[in-house]
Amino acid sequence: MAKPRFFVNRSVKYAVDITGSDARHIKDVLRLHIGDTVEVVDPKANISDIEIVDISDEKVTGKVIKSYRQEERLPEVFLFQALPKGTKMDGIVRQAVEVGITAVFPMLAERVVVKIEPGKAAKKVDRWQKIAAEAAKQSHRSFIPEVSPILSWAEALTELEKFDQVIVFWEEERIQRPFEVLNPNAKRTALVIGPEGGLADREVSDLKKIGAKIVSLGKSILRVETAAPVAIALVLYDLCRMKKKPY
């Protein structure tokens, strides 16, 4: 059985303290005790097996048993997701991280209906970042994917121009599949997915102007919270297959 994994914000040598909500999770949810082991990952993706030597409500102290490095070898794939209604973005972030996304860029689009009140955007991003951290622990990622501040459409286009390839999943495209347009030699790949109502024609034209490729997810029209993890998994699988790497 895989050991519980936690992230720490400093290098680990001989001992480490796990604090805050993670410490409470170890004590009250996992119900671990002195002598049990967990994994910790430092900012450089060094992983250490830790034996618990002291435990309290606010701090768990452990000694290092062994350390090793485990870099992720998945292609760098980034999600540009137009904001959906309600709390659907929570699930999208969680599943995107579990599947293997590198980072998430929430963005606004013409058909986004959710209203972001002034002063609350940062709180939403903080929430999504916490969800990303929990998903990274659960899925044993070696780093926590970053969730960017919410981008306007113009800001998203500017950011997308920095990528080696941009793949847009659009329900109006019924023929072209991701594997037909993917460049396996691209270092950084951006995926664009619209809101519930889809991307507007004008937005698709904007994307084509920066060189984006428009592809289909198949004949079925997927819910927005389904489309993102499916698209990420398809692209990662295709890129790994093209590069002859495991996924």
Distance between CA atoms of residues 247 and 239, nearest Å:
9
Q: Are residues 55 and 85 in the same domain?
A: no
Calculate the average pLDDT of the chain.
90
Assign 1 a pLDDT band (cuts: 50, 70, 90).
low
Mean pLDDT of 93-108: 96
pLDDT of residue 206: 96
Phi, psi of 156 (to 5 degrees): -65, -45
User: Which DSSP string do the residues of 86-125 spell out, in sequence order?
Assistant: TTHHHHHHHHHHHHT-SEEEEE--TT------TTTHHHHH
pTM: 0.86
Q: Are residues 217 and 103 in the same domain?
A: yes
- Most confidently modeled range among 22-36, 37-51, 96-110, 217-231: 96-110
Q: Are residues 86 and 56 in the same domain?
A: no
- Residue 174 is given by DSSP the state -
Q: Are residues 108 and 25 in the same domain?
A: no
pLDDT of residue 47: 85
Q: Are residues 157 and 35 in the same domain?
A: no
Mean pLDDT of 226-244: 92
Q: Are residues 62 and 83 in the same domain?
A: no
What is the number of other CB atoms lying within 10 angstroms of the CB of residue 169? Answer: 23
- Domain boundary (18, 34, 69) is at 69
pLDDT of residue 38: 86
Q: Examine the pLDDT at 246 and tell me if it is beyond 80.
A: no
To the nearest whole percent, how much of the chain has pLDDT over 90?
52
- Domain boundary (69, 101, 119) is at 69
Q: Examine the pLDDT at 41 and tell me if it is beyond 70.
A: yes
Mean pLDDT of 214-233: 90
Please name every residue paired with 38 in a beta bridge, in sequence order, or none if there are none.
50
Q: Are residues 59 and 95 in the same domain?
A: no
Q: Are residues 18 and 106 in the same domain?
A: no
Torsion, Cα 231 236 241 247, to 10 degrees, reads -120
Question: Exposed (0-12), middle (13-18) or buried (19+): which is 234, by Cβ within 10 Å?
Answer: buried
Q: Examine the pLDDT at 103 and tell me if it is beyond 70.
A: yes
Query: Count of domains in the chain?
Result: 2
Assign 27 a pLDDT band (cuts: 50, 70, 90).
confident
pLDDT of residue 22: 86
pLDDT tens column, 161-195: 999 999 999 988 888 999 999 999 999 999 999 99
pLDDT tens column, 121-173: 889 999 999 999 999 998 989 889 999 999 999 999 999 999 999 999 998 88
Q: Are residues 16 and 81 in the same domain?
A: no
pLDDT of residue 159: 97
Q: Are residues 65 and 179 in the same domain?
A: no
pLDDT of residue 56: 84
Domain that holds residue 24: 5-69
Q: Are residues 156 and 231 in the same domain?
A: yes
The CATH number linked to 197 is 3.40.1280.10
Assign 83 a pLDDT band (cuts: 50, 70, 90).
very high
